[in-house]
Amino acid sequence: MKSEAASTPEQELRIVGFLCNWCSYGGADTAGICRFKQPTDLRIIRIPCTGRMDPLFAVKALIYGADGVLVSGCHPKDCHYAVGNYYARRRMEVLKRFLPFIGIDTGRFRYSWVSASEGQLWQQVVKEFSEQIHRLGANPGLHEKIDVEASLFLF
Amino acid sequence: MRIGVFVCRCGTNIANTVDTEAVANKALEYPDVTHATDYMYTCSEPGQQEIQQAIKEHALQGIVVAACSPRMHEATFRRAVEKAGLNRYMFEQANIREHCSWISSDIEANTRKAMDLVRMSVEKLRFNQPLFSSYVPINKRVLVIGGGVAGIQAALDCAEGGLDVVMVERESTIGGKMAKLDKTFPTIDCSSCILGPKMVDVAQNDNIHLYAYSEIDSVSGYIGNFKVGIRKKATYVDWDACTGCGLCTEKCPAKKCYDRFNEGLGTTTAINIPFPQAIPKKACIDADYCRYFTKGKCKVCQKLCPTSAIRFEMEDEIVTEEVGAIVVATGYDLFDDSVYGEYGGGHYPDVISAMQYERLLSAAGPTGGHIRRPSDGKAPKDIVWLSCIGSRDASVGRPYCSGICCMYIAKQATMTRDHLPDCNCYVSYMDIRAPGKNYDEFVRRAQEEYGVQYFRGRVGKIYPKGDRLIVQGADTLLGIQIEIEADLVVLATGIEPSDGARGLAEKLRISYDDYGFYMESHPKLRPVETNTAGVYLSGVCQGPKDIPASVGQGSAAAAKVQALFSRDTIETDPQVANVKEIACIGCGKCIDVCPFGAIQWKTLRDGSQKAQVLETVCQGCGLCNATCPPKAIQLQHCTDDQILAEVNALCG
């Protein structure tokens, strides 16, 4: 965790974003339309709803070497599908507590609520999370220490 | 699979900060990519033709376009590839503009990112399957819930278009809140004169079937094919026999019943017809007050009824109606002013709500249209209106503006000056909000021509002095304390969603906001639709609005229904969940989590239970997919394989 020497701030890290189509993906679009500058580490995967988010997607990304995983969806009560983000919230909370058990720093995972109109908030979320991941540095590489394919069998 | 990649330069929007040529060249290294190029404006007519040509020339089976957000042009490109003979779901769009070129000026980093995004799309596309819509027939009947002016308008517009309409109204008469009003702003039209004929039209229209004194019991099904259980509450009167003669209401001995129609200002009989223009004009027994039901004997009405219509043994009955669309027009209720203890609403008889005052003004009201104090029946000399009672006040959980109060205060004050020219009218306001056509002129007329005295500020306290009331407050413009001795105080109570709105929303599976107003699909561009296909909103149930806006939305909802019903079948979105039966363990977790009731049990020939998705009901959220333990249920076009392919493209 304190391997700051391993990563200079300039070095690009790998952050995977899972964004719900209706709110946060739109919020990220809004941030783009408004030209709110953001770090370039994030790569976004579009999902219909955070309720679609299987915690294993995040776990697999982190095991395979992602340096951070960011999940974002509609604000509670604003879910396009009424309740999807409530399920997501519970799952993400459980996931957060589970990550240390498999040797992953909880700081590498974050979930947030950003609506389609909150471009500025999205910029802030991306900035903060990217900075946090840069502080943590590159993923020490669980995938190099364990047999990933075999361990994924467990899930 | 043979995949073609098209990288859009979007003029300079992308090309300025992303090396599109390098992205296209890099794409050729990705698996299955056989063709890659960059283009100035891919979404333009020639840009689309270039894609279509390449599909033919290179026998492409899947297309990736790296351009703007798919929220912008996914539909455009899907149509384009479909025209070239591909299935429209054999297309993926990489967002290299909003998520890449526009948010950083570092060309190197952006180009790397764009390459990754294209790679992710290619990897996902390799798992795409052609998907096909199915078509289901539409039942061309519409259910309108609520018989206020918004519901009436929607029902009449639909019926005029030849549709069968089922209208359900909770009260024993339609008309809603508007039927209680005396006049309407800003034209001072007589409310019942303009609403009455519409109510009669509802009764006389052969296409409209009215269930009054009924509520929605259950809703199942989906757009085009809803099944609705309607609870016909027991009226204890056979409405087929009742002629509305009113003899029972004259003779009923239980005369001191709460008069809901007159907001409790007068009393009524246990068997009653709410008002003379009621539609349907049928009597209904209030079992809470009826002597037979409370004391066990009376039955005066049964003895007198000339058509023997009284049925004390009647019970609630549930009928089922099948409809293809639902218009929700459940309207509003008024804020309970007794929450403001300092004003004494509900405590001092001469502090009344604006709707009660409206009944005092009405010629059909308890005082025959003469303004009289509820306490002693005297004509008031000084009346004070307090605005924003339960509006724009976060401390009572109502931070929103009810939108109508400023206008109805001006109307009531104007009417008062007409009825009682010697009566002094005072209005305490926070801000005057009169943004409609001729609205501000109307308020000014109340102030300038009718001499209604407005003062800006908030009243702090009301207390009795003799038989009058002292209204204490501040005029914040003059910066002075104000004390007015009044005979009558009218509290301009704000709007809140109709009692039971949340319960109904859950039956309909539509969402509501913090206060219980129903959520429209998009606040600006889809103000009538809900997120449940086939359910439309009309009137105040969606948010505070006045009569013209409610009528407008009623017509808009009817237009939406007509548009839906102008086709015989509806095309379903194939991006829905799908069960692989061989993997399904029949745990039923997907059935529990589905917010739309789109999954049901299916019994196979061997007797085993499997989940089955109703394609037309499924909205494609994927909650079931994430829940399913053996991953037997997969959301088409967003399967686990597809998402993991994207993850692997990044982290592999």
Label the pairing between strands B488-493 and B351-353: parallel
Closest to B300 (Cα-Cα) out of B256, B257, B248: B248
Q: What is the pLDDT of residue A148?
A: 56
Q: Has residue A62 been placed in a domain?
A: yes
- Residue A5 — pLDDT band, cuts 50, 70, 90? very low
- The minimal CB distance from B595 to the residues A35, A65, A83 is found for A83
| Ramachandran bin of A5, using left for φ above 0, alpha for ψ from -120 to 50, beta for the remaining angles | alpha
Q: Residue B479 is encoded by which pair of tokens?
A: 């910066």
Q: Is the pLDDT of residue A144 over 80?
A: no
Tell whether A81 is within 8 A of chain B (Cβ): yes
Q: Has residue A26 been placed in a domain?
A: yes
Statement to judge: residues B403 and B462 lie in one domain: yes
- Residue A152 — pLDDT band, cuts 50, 70, 90? low
Q: pLDDT exceeding 90 applies to what percent of chain A?
A: 66
- Residue A11 — pLDDT band, cuts 50, 70, 90? confident
Statement to judge: residues B370 and B320 lie in one domain: no
B636: nearest CA in chain A?
A48
Nearest-Å Rg of the Cα atoms of chain A is 15
Tell whether A89 is within 8 A of chain B (Cβ): no
Tell whether A38 is within 8 A of chain B (Cβ): yes
Q: Has residue A114 been placed in a domain?
A: yes
Q: What is the pLDDT of residue A93?
A: 96
Q: What is the pLDDT of residue B166?
A: 97
Q: Has residue A6 been placed in a domain?
A: no
A17: nearest CA in chain B?
B647
Closest to B230 (Cα-Cα) out of B313, B297, B136, B320: B320
Q: Can you spell out the DSSP letters for B568-634?
A: SEEEPPS-SEEE-TTT-----HHHHH-TT--EEEEE-TTS-EEEEE-TTT-----HHHHH-TT--EE
Q: What is the pLDDT of residue B616?
A: 82
Quote the number of domains for chain B. 5
Reply yes or no: is the peptide bond before residue B349 cis, omega within 30 of 0: no
Domain boundary among B75, B97, B125: B125
- Residue A9 — pLDDT band, cuts 50, 70, 90? very low
Q: Has residue B467 been placed in a domain?
A: yes
Tell whether A87 is within 8 A of chain B (Cβ): yes
Instruction: State the maximum Cα–Cα separation within chain B, in Å, rounded to a whole number.
Output: 96
**What is the rounded average pLDDT of the residues A37-54?**
96
Statement to judge: residues B403 and B504 lie in one domain: no
Statement to judge: residues B467 and B450 lie in one domain: yes
**How many angstroms separate the CA of residue B239 from the nearest CA in chain A?**
40
**Residue A42: CATH number of its domain:** 3.40.50
Statement to judge: residues B116 and B165 lie in one domain: no
Closest to B615 (Cα-Cα) out of B631, B599, B593, B638: B599
Check CB contact under 8 Å for A49 and B640. no
Check CB contact under 8 Å for B97 and A12. no
**Residue B608: CATH number of its domain:** 3.30.70.20
Q: Domain span at residue A102? A: 12-152
Statement to judge: residues B61 and B199 lie in one domain: no
Cα gap B626→B630, rounded to integer Å: 10
Cα gap A66→A73, rounded to integer Å: 20
- The minimal CB distance from B626 to the residues A21, A25, A54 is found for A54
- Single pTM value for the model: 0.77
Statement to judge: residues B177 and B251 lie in one domain: no
Q: What is the pLDDT of residue A8?
A: 45
Domain boundary among B93, B125, B157: B125
Q: What is the pLDDT of residue B523?
A: 81
Touching A: B residues 503-522, CB under 8 Å: 509, 511, 513-514
Quote the number of domains for chain A. 1
Statement to judge: residues B91 and B40 lie in one domain: yes
**What is the rounded average pLDDT of the residues A62-79?**
91
Q: Domain span at residue B196? A: 141-233+316-331+498-565
Residues of chain A with Cβ-Cβ distance to B112 below 8 Å are: 12, 40
Domain boundary among B496, B511, B540: B496
Q: Has residue A3 been placed in a domain?
A: no
Q: What is the pLDDT of residue A6?
A: 42
Q: Return the SS3 of B4.
A: strand
Q: What is the DSSP letter of B337?
A: G
Tell whether B637 is within 8 A of chain A (Cβ): no
Q: How many CB atoms lie within 10 A of CB A135?
A: 13
Q: What is the pLDDT of residue A80?
A: 83
Check CB contact under 8 Å for A25 and B509. no
**Residue B200: CATH number of its domain:** 3.50.50.60
Cα gap B588→B617, rounded to integer Å: 17
pLDDT averaged per 10 residues in sequence order, chain B, 652 residues: 96 95 96 96 95 96 96 93 96 96 95 96 96 93 97 97 97 96 95 95 96 94 91 96 94 93 93 93 94 93 94 96 97 95 93 96 93 94 96 95 96 96 96 95 96 95 95 95 96 95 88 87 87 92 96 97 94 93 96 93 94 90 96 96 95 80
Q: Has residue A5 been placed in a domain?
A: no
Q: What is the pLDDT of residue A151?
A: 56
Q: Has residue B226 been placed in a domain?
A: yes
**What is the rounded average pLDDT of the residues A48-61?**
95
Dihedral of CA B294/B295/B297/B298: which sign? negative
**Residue B36: CATH number of its domain:** 3.40.50
Cα gap B149→B409, rounded to integer Å: 21
Tell whether B574 is within 8 A of chain A (Cβ): no
